[in-house]
Amino acid sequence: MAHSSSYPASRANWRIALRLGGFTRRRGSKASAISFETSGARWLLLSSLYGLVEPDAEIAPYDHTLNSLGVADRQAWAKKVLEKLLPEAADFRRIVIFAGVRYREFLIRPLEQRGKIVDIPMENLTRGEQLAWLNQHR
């Protein structure tokens, strides 16, 4: 159910993001540090409803996920995302994806076919492990 108010997209889908370029690691510290906002890195959000979204875009809350969609619908969503992402990523060699399988499954191959290196740091982690990883790498 959608609400009438809106809020920054970065609050809506903080777990589902991709970054153009590599991620920041601080050597010599107990945990690596990943910071999209303070590093100045270009980053975008993947939204099951809106596709590729700027972090400061105002969007209405929604209840929609790719997990319940069929293959054809997920492929159409990925095509929509790629149409916007490819021009954004033109000057970047590496793309880091922080998203679940359904959100990345049809993005990886087209990106790699265009010479992009795609990193998925949380690829084999459960949802709980992903949250722990994100907390550890703040």
Domain ranges of the chain: 7-136
Q: Is the pLDDT at 24 greater than 50, yes or no?
A: no
Helix (H) and strand (E) counts in the chain: 6, 7
When pLDDT is averaged across residues 36-51 and rounded to a whole number, the result is 75
When pLDDT is averaged across residues 7-25 and rounded to a whole number, the result is 45
∠1-49-70 over CA atoms, to 5°?
Answer: 100
Predicted pLDDT at 138: 64
Residues making up the chain, counted from first to last: 138
Query: Which pTM does this prediction carry?
Result: 0.72
Predicted pLDDT at 27: 33
Predicted pLDDT at 19: 58
When pLDDT is averaged across residues 93-101 and rounded to a whole number, the result is 86
